Amino acid sequence: MGRDMTSERTGSPSHSDDLSDEQRSAIFAAANAPRDRHGNVRAPRAPIPRRFVLWAVAAILFLGVGGQIAGHFFQSFGNAPKASATRPIRTLTPPTLPSSTSLTSLESYIGVKFIGSAKARTFTLKTQSHKKWSLAAQKGKVVVLAFYNSICNDICPVLGVEIRQAADELGTRNKNVVFAIVNTDPRRRSISPRSRALSVPGLSSTPSVVFLTGSVATLDTVWRAYGVQIFVGARASQVSHSNALYFVGPNGDLVAFAQPFASVSKTGVYSLGSSVLHRYAQGIAATAGSLVK
């Protein structure tokens, strides 16, 4: 009389009319399971973890929205940073300035290469004082455009000192020259007047110097426009970049290019002999000063 309670608990039916919904689903699934050419049921595929699916969806969304940016500076993620030559903008227009044969000895020393009369690609970033700074708003002034990172563990201790000395070398012409340094570290974009990029090379009290940063997307636009390549490694400290120094004329023309250099120790410390460093600074000052109107 009635059902076998043991059979109901274990899921083994007492006769065919008493199949549970779960059992019916199992029979239906077995009947419709994929089979090989010999009629044997194929082994089921391992289920895809839900976490993996979520990560995959996130990756697709990320690549769709910011893939171009990620592809630019995470191109070597997981590998040690490697050096790479900067790709200067040199062939945009025919040169309108003197050829290299008429360079001064100081300009030759820093390897100045004149570009021509191309307009510098404008951009807007924020300064160490969190104020907006636009290249387009610098009309009438010469802009020396440099690149290094906010924590000053790259060429910053060398190039930063060269910029400080160049500002001193310019004397009264310094009021017509702006030294704009663009942050090259996508992982450390927060800056202040106390940032190491300014304090280590002694630039904190140099009024003609602005250190610039912004969102990754905005910085990436500037890096690309000026041929600066960024390489990011697996660890936070593994960020490197190619070196570039540009001279923008008072009319907004992208006039000349040079490539800063330094010695690198086994521990990754950048340095340069004081006499060489000072002569490079004089070369920066001579090139920038020649453009002042």
**Of the candidate ranges 58-62, 105-109, 264-268, the one whose mean pLDDT is the lowest:** 58-62
Residues 6+ apart with CB under 8 A from 33: 41, 42, 44
- The Cα 281–Cα 130 span in angstroms is 28
Torsion, Cα 138 144 148 153, to 10 degrees, reads -130
- The Cα 155–Cα 262 span in angstroms is 7
**Of the candidate ranges 29-33, 92-96, 145-149, 197-201, the one whose mean pLDDT is the lowest:** 92-96
- Tell me how far apart the 2 most distant CA atoms of the chain are, in Å: 114
CB 247 within 8 A of CB 144: yes
- Is residue 101 scored above 80 in pLDDT? no
Domains of the chain, by residue range, sit at: 100-291
Indicate the pLDDT class of residue 81, thresholds 50, 70 and 90.
Answer: very low
Check residues 141 and 97 and name the one with the higher pLDDT. 141
What CATH topology corresponds to 100-291? Glutaredoxin (3.40.30)
**Of the candidate ranges 225-234, 261-270, 282-291, the one whose mean pLDDT is the lowest:** 225-234
- Is residue 144 scored above 50 in pLDDT? yes
Q: What is the mean pLDDT of residues 18-41?
A: 55
What pLDDT was estimated at residue 238? Answer: 59
| SS3 label, residue 175 | helix
Q: How far is CA 107 from CA 103, 152, 211, 224, 258, in A?
A: 6, 26, 24, 26, 9
- Is residue 94 scored above 90 in pLDDT? no
- The pTM assigned to this predicted structure is 0.66
Q: What is the mean pLDDT of residues 37-52?
A: 55
What pLDDT was estimated at residue 273? Answer: 94
- Is residue 169 scored above 60 in pLDDT? yes
* Residue pLDDT, tens place only, 252-277: 999 999 999 999 888 889 999 999 99
- The Cα 227–Cα 242 span in angstroms is 9
- The Cα 175–Cα 153 span in angstroms is 29
